[in-house]
Structure 1
Amino acid sequence: MTPLIQAEQAVLGAVFLSPGQLDRLAPWLRPEHFYRPAHAATYAALLKLRADGHPAAQMQDTGPVPMSWLTDTVAEASKHTRGLTASYAHSLVSACPRPEHAAVYGRMVLEGAIHRSVAEHATRLHQAAHTDALRDGVEETVHHAHVLSNVLAELARRWGGKPRPVAPQASAAPPPVHPQPVNERLLADEEFLLGCLSARPQKLDDVVGWLHPGDFTDSGHQQIYRSLGALHHRGEPIDQLTVLWETQRRGALANGTLDTERVLRICDRNSLAGSAEYLGEQVVQASLVRTAAASARQVRALADDESLAPGRLIGYALHALGPLDDVRRRLRLANDAEPETGRPTNQSGAPPPAARIDAARSRSRLTNAIPVTTPPAASCPTVPDRAHRRSPA
């Protein structure tokens, strides 16, 4: 028998022995917090008898508890569950070490319920992300992410704290990484988007506010988009060669993430024109689904760790949902963009200020280069002079 089941038995036995304990438990402990259905039905019956004004519930522990308190509870609970007998109710009484510790036992029950609830909703989020990945949607994922955030906030308040994200300790082991199947259609969309942005660099103004490099599935695509963004930020020309040079400066060619032929192929100016805003939104949607699945696995791993206190579990889980919240925010920005320009309605769409471009370029200039000087004209004779001075054969 697990400690959680023993805690459920103890809290019910405490209420049988001391009905006044319900006044301390009823405001925050609910029947759905019990793991065993028989225990949930028994606690619900106790709450109903108390609400109906049962004489035992009014005694406030001033005398011996009448036997009707136990028998009436069993009779009421038996209407909603099967197999509950008076002998089992007596075993609950004997399972309670100290009736006056009922509130502590109730906190144990609530702690188990918090772990189960977080695990359940994390599993639902993961299933929704898997479904949306198959049908190229985000509706179910967004819905269950919102539900999980609300559940964590409600559990924090019920536990007596505030819903605040807390970064896990560095010593905490990260959850296992599960490789995801490669979506060839998504990879093709990413390449098409990068080709559009390379052919029409002005479109970067419309997507840089909500499309981030981490939204791309392929690491090589991430590096090309970073290079495009850097060139755009510095106000420098964008073409196949400048992008290739920027990826080289960032080490993407040296570490094997990209090769020259692939960069030139993706950044070909002869690529077919397309809607950068639409393709970018598709990339962000796929990123949201991927991030939701990863966050759900991390939250589920936290919920399965019984050593985590509820406050830490909730804080760590909210922290794990942080990347997902960021992608959700940026997807809303993409959806709110103007149809004609793709720019969010709260942005002016003006070109980058000259001061920013100059500062970005200054950070990119070579400061330790050897200066090249031009020798005086007299010391460098012209070709006709040399021919004139050639000695005769």
Structure 2
Amino acid sequence: MSQPTDPYEDHLDDLPPARPVHYAEQALLGALLLDPHRLTEISDLDADQFGNHAHGALFQAMRTAPLPNPEDHRSDPAWLNTVLDAARPHAPGLTASYLHTLIQVCPWPKHAPTYARMVQADHARRTVLIHAERLVQTTTDTTLPNPAATTLAQADTLGQFLDTLAGRFASHPGSLPRTEVPATRAGQRGEEAIDEERLLLATATAHPAELKDMRWLQPDDFTLPLHAGLWQCLSALVHNGEPVDAITILWEAQHRGLLADGLDPRHLIDLLSTPVGSPEYWGERVLQRALLGRASDVGTRIAAYAQDPANTPHQLITGSRRALADLTALRTRWTRSASPPRAPRAPRGPAVTRAGPPPRTTAPSARALR
């Protein structure tokens, strides 16, 4: 007869295996419990850098408890009891037996600084992942009043953290991560994005003179290749001083091969014949969408680097910095589009000829007024 299954039974075998950093934290704490004076060798390690909360609480208790006399510590567990009592309010699951387990699993107490660097490296990886995920979430937050500025601020925060990490971890050969990151840009397409691009093309066709001040918008900013090609047609006609309307753009599109896929010319003419608003407004909308899409791609790539445990801290830093660099050019163009137009220069004064002295502009002298 089969035994009934206890619904409250703990299925410990179903738990995922502990990650390597768990054993590094245990080895570090065991080394410090054996030789508390090694705390001075890892002064740059903080309690919040531990992945296990109980381990961090125990480490913080070690930091706050006065160091024992080395000779007394070998035979007296008083310091261990002090540390345990200080850590238990923050981690009630800690027991005296677990402290003995930490001591037993430590291979070499003299390797404590190395164990500490392992803990710091894993904390750096987890923190980069948090920043990258926040960057991705910011790009899709529709409640933000200024999504572009908020996204760029989050990218700056991530970049500053990477700069801080660069000073903590030494560089070494083979610094590029080999993590494969799937392309995500295609997923940014949507009806709203396509509609905004169509309105931009139609409005720019109606007001082509404004394109001279919109060099900050590039074909790569469009989600559809057809729209990018039509923007190139518009820009070329304006640059060459040619007349711009739906028919001239259609002719230019034919020369550029945009009709080769069976596009109906009537459909293209209709697309370019419904202007609304100003080209600059729709151009900024298209550029902002491109900026948010690029930032999302960058955050996704950095998150993939951080989730790959095969990457060393230096590989993570280098790969993440290169990913952020892909946002720089687009960010520069966005800043240029959002900057106010320059005020017109004041008219110059009349030119001075060499034939005679400059005209008198000062007030007459007192003698002349007498």
Q: Normalised by the size of structure 1, how large is the TM-score?
A: 0.74
Alignment deviations for residues 116-160 of structure 1 (CA, whole Å, 9 cap, x no partner):
111122112222222238988435433322322222222222335
Q: Is the 8 A contact 2:188 2:293 kept in 1?
A: no
Gap change, CA 1:323 and 1:242, over 3 Å in 2: farther
Alignment deviations for residues 293-345 of structure 1 (CA, whole Å, 9 cap, x no partner):
2222111111111101111111111212223333333222222132xxxxxx3
Q: Is the 8 A contact 1:12 1:43 kept in 2?
A: yes
Q: Is the 8 A contact 1:4 1:112 kept in 2?
A: yes
Structure 2 SS opposite 1:252: coil
Match of 2:229 in 1: 223
Q: Is the 8 A contact 2:207 2:279 kept in 1?
A: no
Match of 2:169 in 1: 159
Q: Is the 8 A contact 1:78 1:84 kept in 2?
A: yes
Q: Normalised by the size of structure 2, how large is the TM-score?
A: 0.78
State how far apart, in whole Å, the 2-side matches of 1:317 and 1:346 are: 39
For residue 184 of structure 1, report the CA deviation from its aligned partner.
2.4
Gap change, CA 1:136 and 1:193, over 3 Å in 2: farther
Match of 1:38 in 2: 54
State how far apart, in whole Å, the 1-side matches of 2:258 and 2:181 are: 27
1:67 aligned partner, one-letter code = P
Match of 1:23 in 2: 40
State how far apart, in whole Å, the 2-side matches of 1:66 and 1:204 are: 81
State how far apart, in whole Å, the 2-side matches of 1:261 and 1:4 are: 64
Q: Is the 8 A contact 1:149 1:318 kept in 2?
A: yes
Gap change, CA 1:167 and 1:12, over 3 Å in 2: closer
Match of 1:173 in 2: 180
Match of 2:23 in 1: 6
Of 118, 129, 134, the match for 2:139: 129
Of 165, 189, 194, the match for 1:187: 194
Q: Which runs of 4+ in 1 moved over 6 A?
A: 133-136
Of 258, 266, 270, the match for 1:265: 270
Which consecutive unaligned segments of at least 5 residues does structure 2 have?
A: 1-17, 346-370
Gap change, CA 1:133 and 1:279, over 3 Å in 2: farther
Q: Is the 8 A contact 1:136 1:286 kept in 2?
A: no
Match of 2:206 in 1: 199
Structure 2 SS opposite 1:173: coil
Instruction: Give the total of aligned pairs.
Output: 327
Of 212, 217, 227, the match for 1:211: 217
Gap change, CA 1:82 and 1:224, over 3 Å in 2: same
State how far apart, in whole Å, the 1-side matches of 2:188 and 2:182 are: 19
Gap change, CA 1:295 and 1:7, over 3 Å in 2: same
Alignment deviations for residues 155-210 of structure 1 (CA, whole Å, 9 cap, x no partner):
22233569xxx9957x65232537536432332221111122222221111111x2
Q: Is the 8 A contact 1:132 1:138 kept in 2?
A: no
Alignment deviations for residues 320-377 of structure 1 (CA, whole Å, 9 cap, x no partner):
2223333333222222132xxxxxx3999xxxxxxxxxxxxxxxxxxxxxxxxxxxxx
For residue 217 of structure 1, report the CA deviation from its aligned partner.
2.2
Gap change, CA 1:177 and 1:286, over 3 Å in 2: closer
State how far apart, in whole Å, the 2-side matches of 1:334 and 1:97 are: 60
Gap change, CA 1:199 and 1:173, over 3 Å in 2: same
Q: Is the 8 A contact 1:17 1:65 kept in 2?
A: no
Of 95, 104, 125, the match for 1:94: 104
1:310 is the counterpart of 2:327: no
1:325 is the counterpart of 2:328: yes
Q: Is the 8 A contact 2:175 2:315 kept in 1?
A: no
Alignment deviations for residues 40-75 of structure 1 (CA, whole Å, 9 cap, x no partner):
1111112222xxxx142x75x998475223221111
Of 249, 258, 283, the match for 1:252: 258
1:119 is the counterpart of 2:135: no
1:294 is the counterpart of 2:304: no
Alignment deviations for residues 209-249 of structure 1 (CA, whole Å, 9 cap, x no partner):
x2122222222111111222233344444333443343334
State how far apart, in whole Å, the 1-side matches of 2:265 and 2:296 are: 33
Q: Is the 8 A contact 2:73 2:79 kept in 1?
A: no
Structure 2 SS opposite 1:81: coil
Gap change, CA 1:153 and 1:114, over 3 Å in 2: same
Gap change, CA 1:250 and 1:108, over 3 Å in 2: farther
Which consecutive unaligned segments of at least 5 residues does structure 1 have?
A: 339-344, 349-393
